[in-house]
Structure 1
Amino acid sequence: MSVSASPTPLLGDRLCENGYECVKILPATNDAHGGVIVDLKEPMDSELFATLLRSSLLHWKKQGKDGVWIKLPIELVNLVETAVKEGFWYHHAEPNYLMLVYWIPKTGCTIPPNASHCVGVGAIVLNDKKEVLVVQEKRGGFHGIGVWKIPTGVVDAGEEIFEAAIREVKEETGIDTEFMEVLAFRHTHNSFFGKSDLSFVCMLRPLSFDIKKQDLEIEAAQWMPFEEFADQPFNQMHEPFKYMIELCLAKVENGYDGFSPRPVSSYFVEELNCLYLNSHDLDNTS
């Protein structure tokens, strides 16, 4: 998750209180929720850090600040123990930094939890011969059980759902596609490290047909007649796959309308993002 901050520094390295005593504190910026963010980049001795941190916490408490975020790059791992001893706790980590947090007020803590969900996509790619693009995986729960499945994967940070679906198909099979719709999504819990999952079932149109499978994760890939794919015993036993097949048939035969991405602007950010909606029904009622 990200923590928004004001563009100008709130505090300097040195603060003079009452016009007499100069107290050195950590440089920080305001966040958007009454707290401060300390983004350390330069090496620092742990004892000096402890002294500055205590002075800073006293100052921020006098200012009426709430949450204190400390972003420690992996190079400053020596400061983690010092921060924890002062009452900070882990909030989240990325490959190159650890975010620690502290709540100053005596009231209940309102710091949002770490990101709770992983977002995934599954891509149904159906050609004009009513063949579906399927793979067998080299690893994971589907390895070694003989099941042909649709390409799936995780949405990367900053990536749109439709972009992830197109990318995963290309990576696993070499097939270029055009995104059509989200047909459905599934919400599950207690997955990877106790997190929840949102998985989006997507329909795509193939733009190429010669398969070039990925060697690292994919055992085999092929265009399979849809009826043969649907009749796999596993698909009849595993209810989410059974519904996926029914949705695909409803789309092809009965005009089932899913959600397609529509770029929208926002008051809060400059970049466009996508709202997924039933464009067919919306446009017909406008």
Structure 2
Amino acid sequence: MELKLFDPQSTTLTHMGRLYSTPFMNWRDTPSVGVPHLFFSCRGSSVRAALSSKSNNAHTTSNGALSSSGPGVTESCLHHTCTTNSINSSVCSRDLRVLDGYDDEYGGFVVDPDKLPTNQNTFSLMLRSSLSHWKMKGKQGIWLELPLQLSELVPIAVKEGFRYHHAEINYVMLTYWLPEGPCMLPGNASHQVGVGGLVINDKGEVLVVQERYCSPACVGLWKLPTGFIAESEEIFEGVVREVKEETGIDTEFIEVIGFRHAHSIAFNKSDLFFICMLRPLSTQIMIDDDEIQAAKWMPLVEFVEHQLIQGDRMFKKVIDIYIARLRKQCCGLSAHQSASKFDGRESTLYYHVIDSQDDCEACSG
């Protein structure tokens, strides 16, 4: 005999003396069955239920209704009365609530990490229902951010087909590409961004440092103050901050005189390193003892002859570019704020301009 589900608009469930009759049942008000699948078959006047091994807490009440004392979201709740002449069934299908979130502009869906269920069984059932719902709606990429405090949900999502995208200190991001064919979601960030500050005072001296922690080949070498750009930080802001943190010297950003692009650096990522020309606004050095071994003002002519410069073609080229800049034989890139209608945000565009007689002579020809 085939057992058919009733229309959920008219489904009524009587269980343990309580009456449920709503278009969509609230899982908090219904008995919990911690089982992934439930099948019923009727043979004459009997009802046989096949449950998975996970339904150890489930039992059948005196009137034939299935209940459970364990935690979890109701997946199926049924009430059956079987007699020799007829079988009356009231069936409430699995709670099909989907995970909260919002549609993105590319036809995908972003799950709200602040509204995730904390119970693993609940999350598993809702994730399965959500995947079915998203497929039915024709969604493409699904973004699932799992906070550190919900890390136990990660293997559940992976088992359902989610893949790692990236991780930060307090969360891991997973994705699921629903359509058939190659995944079109953008990959993780491909680059890290570093800066170096070329600071020269009115005496023709360069601000140089010795790092406390470095490779054996660089022990005792004098170099420019360098560091990494922080999240949402501008290049011109980051280089000023790094110089201040390492040496205590206040500076003013002038321009980018060049940048290097390298690959397969830290964590197999590419690296962008911007060499920036800065004007010193103070002179007294106060080093960061945790990061810097020593710092000083070194005459430019001495720095040019330093073994780090002479032994490295790239750094020698950087100094050559800077000397050419001093001689007005080339131009650097200054920072200019600009807005774009595509994203409605202000950003920084780096380029050289000719607006005074002090600009590079090479740019005027």
Relative to the length of structure 1, the TM-score reads: 0.88
Answer whether contact 1:137 1:143 (CA < 8 A) is retained. no
- Which amino acid is 1:98 matched to? V
Alignment of 1:137-286 (within 5 A): 137-141=211-215, 145-280=219-354
- Larger CA Rg, structure 1 vs 2: 2
Shift of 1:145: 2.5
Q: Distance in 1 between matches of 2:268 and 2:164?
A: 16
Q: Letter of the aligned partner of 2:283 in structure 1?
A: F
Alignment match of 1:83 (pick from 133, 152, 157)? 157
Structure 2 gap segments, 5+ residues each: 1-24, 27-91
Report the secondary structure of 2:327's partner residue. helix
Q: Which residue of 2 aligns with 1:127?
A: 201
Structure 1 window deviating more from structure 2 (251-260 vs 79-88): it is: 251-260
Q: Which one of the candidate residues 11, 26, 31 is aligned to 2:104?
A: 31
Tell me the CA shift for residue 235 of structure 1: 1.0
Matches for 1:35-74 after TM superposition, within 5 Å: 35-41=108-114, 42-74=116-148
Distance 1:110 1:228 in 2: 53
Deviations 1:30-72 (A, max 9, x none): 0111100112225521121111111111111111110111111
Contact 2:117–2:123 under 8 Å retained in 1: no
What amino acid is aligned across from residue 130 of structure 2 in structure 1?
S
Distance 1:281 1:116, change over 3 A: farther
Tell me which amino acid in the other structure corresponds to 1:23: L
Deviation at residue 267 of structure 1 after TM alignment: 1.5
Cα distance in 1 between the residues matched to 2:260 and 2:225: 16
Q: Which runs of 5+ in 1 are unaligned?
A: 1-12, 15-19
- Alignment-mate amino acid for residue 64 of structure 1: G
Displacement of 1:280 in angstroms is 2.4
Aligned to 1:7: none
Q: Secondary structure at the match of 2:224?
A: coil
Aligned partners of 1:59 and 1:88: how far apart in 2?
16
Amino acid of the structure 1 residue aligned with 2:154 = V
- Between 1:21-30 and 1:160-169, the stretch displaced more is 21-30
Q: Alignment partner of 1:257: what SS? A: coil
Alpha-carbon RMSD across the aligned residues, in angstroms, is 2.2
Q: Is the 8 A contact 1:136 1:142 kept in 2?
A: no
Q: Distance in 2 between the 1:58 and 1:144 partners?
A: 57
- Residue 107 (1) aligns with residue 181 (2): yes
Identify the range of structure 1 (142-151 vs 46-55) with the bigger mean alpha-carbon deviation.
Answer: 142-151
**1:108 to partner: Cα distance:** 1.4
Question: Counterparts of 2:208 and 2:245 in 1: how far apart (Å)?
Answer: 13
1:26 deviation in Å?
A: 1.0
Q: Write the letter of the residue equivalent to 1:179.
A: F
Instruction: Say which SS state the counterpart of residue 280 (structure 1) adopts.
Output: coil
Which one scores higher on RCO, CA 8 angstroms, separation ≥ 6? 1
Letter in 1 for 2:231: A
- Flag the structure with higher helix content: 1
Secondary structure, in 3 states, of the residue corresponding to 1:90? strand
Larger displacement relative to structure 2 (99-108 or 138-147) = 138-147
Counterpart of 1:29, as a letter, is: Y
State whether residues 222 and 308 of structure 2, in contact with CA within 8 Å, keep that contact through their aligned partners in structure 1: no
3-state SS of paired residue (1:106): coil
Distance 1:143 1:39, change over 3 A: farther
Matches of 1:71 and 1:140, distance apart in 2: 36
Please state how far the C-alpha of 1:234 moved relative to its aligned partner.
2.3
How far did residue 95 of structure 1 move? 1.1
1:8 aligns to what? Answer: none
The residue correspondences of 1:12-31 to structure 2 (distance < 5 A) are 23-31=96-104
Question: Is the Cα contact below 8 Å between 1:136 and 1:143 reproduced in 2?
Answer: no
